[in-house]
Structure 1
Amino acid sequence: MNGSDPTRPIVFTIYSALGLHNLGLAACFLVLYVSGVCVNLLLVVVVCVEPHLHRPMYVLLVNLALCGVMGSSSVCPNIIKHLVSSRQEASLQACLTQVFFTNVYGTSIFCLLALMAYDRYVSICKPLLYHAIMTPARLRGMLLALYFILSLFSALQVYLTSSLRLCRRAVDKLLCDSLVIANLACTRTTVVSAYGLSCAVGFIVFPCLLVILSYLHIFSVTLKSPRASQRRALKTCTPHLLTFINFTVATLFGVIYNRLNNNVPNPINVFLCLSFFVFPPLLHPIIYGIKMQEIQKSIIRIMKSRMMM
């Protein structure tokens, strides 16, 4: 797989530098991670058990929640293990596996947000055609194609990264990503960087443009509508807009995290990791749970039915 010894582990030097704060950080990561998994799974359960929520918007919301769980689960257990362990190292294969899932996580969230924006666009701008366009079969086809394409491109990036010959094994980051492994290579290669940039444009920048274009159409239509229609449109779009802004900012922090050199303060290192892999999966279901009355009512209805049993 690699020109250097593939059995030599990758060593994460940052954990020893954190010193006495390790246990406190481990508790923080654990609480945030478990909370994020619980609220996401609660949202998934509510949508699955409530038949009136089996609509495209909520199906996409379930996929958003599951992707959030995948993203945080791909990094948090390893970070917690390294924080409480005396040995902070991982095999190259484990690092490459983490690269695969973190890439799928980041790109799938943006693509799902683009699909959700398209769903809102059709619902508001073409309401009479909504059920003809957003059919269950078409939605399943789009989701299957999305996950297949993202997995394929992520697997190719892992393959390109695994072909690098590594001359160093020390990483001053909390986790592995393709750029971190590329920086350990004996020689700089433009192939991995160019491929990563093209994936970022195709699966991050392009979906962002689709979201922006969708909302430009939505706002142009709603501004010409009666005030009551404007309020309804704003009510249904606000959770998605907040989620999109939240994850875009988190991604910006993630890009900064990847591009910064090793000489960054440890608190910034920790915060940038939290801002991309922990906070968004925790906040997204909370945003939808607070802003969408149907989800609130469904949660209350389920809780009441459980209490009466």
Structure 2
Amino acid sequence: MRKKFVFILVVLIMIFSYLTIASATKALRSTSDRPANLPFVSDSIRLVLITQELDTPFWNKVGQGALKQAQKENVQLEVWGSYGNNQDDFLKTMEVAIHSKVDGIIVQGLDNEEFKELTKVKAAFYGIPVITVANDVPVEESLRKTYVGSDQFEAGEMVARQLIKEMGTTGGVIILGDQEQAYYQKERLAGIEDVLSKYPDIEMIIRGTADAKEQVMATTQQLMNEVPRASAFIAINANYAGPMIQEIGRRTQVEPYYIYTFDDGVGSTALLEQGMLDGILAQKPEEMGSESVKRLMQWISGETVPLDSNGYLTETRMVKAEGEEP
């Protein structure tokens, strides 16, 4: 009886050993047969576009372009952000996107330490690629993958050249921006200065202001008192064009002045159509949106790694008050 029991036990052990070896062999074979790179499934990709200026004409167009391209790429894209340049809400939204572990972020660049900390440390920790759109930040300070938008230095040059063409090479030019200029404003200003500094009879008066409408108007009033012979105004923050023109019109006729800005401000196009602006620097916001999704997907799919850190530039052109290009 004992011998019979031992015999049965040995047989069972041999059967279990065979089954174990067979299962392991099958697992190893299926692993080795698996392709080195798993197929890229685009419909599982989730992207987010984040802006500080939701529901403005310029950023609506950026969003429209991004959504159209996302549909072509068969990926999910959501547009998040804040209203009225609320930086705290904007940064919180950015942090939520990172902790949600989205696959990629397209974002309006914000040139401050909190934003750079989010892109350089937190997004990098989760392996989330970040692309800036329309407003850039320095790559070495943010580790963003690339930038899609206008060459802001060249845009400033174009505005200055058009001003010279209309005004001539003599006069005072008031340039209005933020008290703490964002990177895109610094680039615009540098381009303007590069052109106007070549003319010794042009005086540039550069001033920063807080972003409240009343403060922009008060700063404009102060400048007009300080520089009564000013011939021209340039709003490098396009959102300041409206309050600036309102204050000029309250004191005197707007028509004698040469006034220029950019098309990314609320109401810039309407002011141009009303003849309150002599020209705006027109950009391609819808193209910015579509191109940013395209480039981000090239990174995620591994098609283009690395992306060009200098950025992918979209077209800019000057549009005059008469509706014609100069």
TM-score range, shorter chain: under 0.3
Select the structure of larger CA radius of gyration. 2
More helix by share: 1
TM-score normalised over the length of structure 1: 0.26
TM-score normalised over the length of structure 2: 0.25
